[in-house]
Amino acid sequence: MKLDEAKEKYIQTWGTFATSWGINRTMAQVHALLLAEGKPLSTDEVMEMLQISRGNANMNLRALMDWGIVKKEFVKGDRKEYFIAEKDVWFLFKQITKERRKREIEPVVAFLEELKNVEDDSDEAKEFIKLMDDFGNVTNKINNIMDLAIKSDDHWLVGKITNLLK
C-alpha cells in the first residue's frame, strides 16, 4: 500500500470508528488528517483534502482546539491560520479522557445526586434512592479510574493494567 493510500484509509476509517464512540465523524477525520500530515494545514487545505465546507472545517477545528488536541500555528509571511495536532499519543489519551469525563461522567454524577433528593419516605422511594446510589457508585468508580489515567504517566498505567490482566 502506498503512503497516500494508507493515510486516506486511516482518515476514513478513523472517522467511521469515532461514530461508534459518540464522536462526530468529520471531527475525527479532521483530527486524523492533522495527525497524519507532517506539517500544519490551513482551513483551505483541510476543506480541500476532506471535501468539506468552510463552515464544517471551521466548526470542527474549533472543537478540536476546545478539546486541547489541536492548536493554531502561525506561518511566517502568511496571513492564513494553520492548525497542527498534538502528536504525543499519551497526551492525546489523557486529554481526551479529561474532556470526555468533563462532558459525560461529571454531569451523570451530578444528575444522580439530584435524583436522590426524593421527598418521600415510602419503600418504593427508598428502593429508587438505593438504585440511584448504586448507579452513582459505579459512575464514581469510572470517574476515579479516569482521574487516575489523567494524572498518571504512561509507564505507571501500563503497569497497573498489566497487573490487572494477570
Local structure of 83: helix, strand or coil:
strand
Q: pLDDT (tens digit, 9 = 90+) per residue, 132-156?
A: 999 999 999 999 888 888 887 766 6
Residue-averaged pLDDT of the chain: 90
pLDDT interval class at 61 (50, 70, 90) = very high
| Residue position matching grid coordinates 475525527 | 28
Query: How many alpha carbons fall within 13 Å on the CB side of residue 104?
Result: 13
Question: Of the candidates 97, 96, 29, which has an alpha carbon nearest to the alpha carbon of residue 68?
Answer: 96
Mean pLDDT of 120-134: 92
- What is the pLDDT at residue 48? 97
- Comparing 70 with 21, which gets the higher pLDDT? 70
Residue 110 neighbours by CB distance under 10 Å: 10
Report the alpha-carbon distance of residue 116 to residue 132 in Å, rounded: 6
- What is the pLDDT at residue 139? 93
**Is it the case that residue 23 has pLDDT exceeding 90?**
no
Angle between helices 25-36 and 43-50 (to 10 degrees): 110
Q: Are residues 31 and 64 in contact, defined by beta-carbon separation less than 8 angstroms? A: yes
How far is C-alpha 64 from the geometric centre of its chain's CA atoms?
9
| Residue position matching grid coordinates 497516500 | 4
Mean pLDDT of 78-94: 91
Q: Residues with Cβ < 8 Å from 9, sequence gap 6 or more?
A: 1
Q: pLDDT (tens digit, 9 = 90+) per residue, 106-117?
A: 999 999 999 988
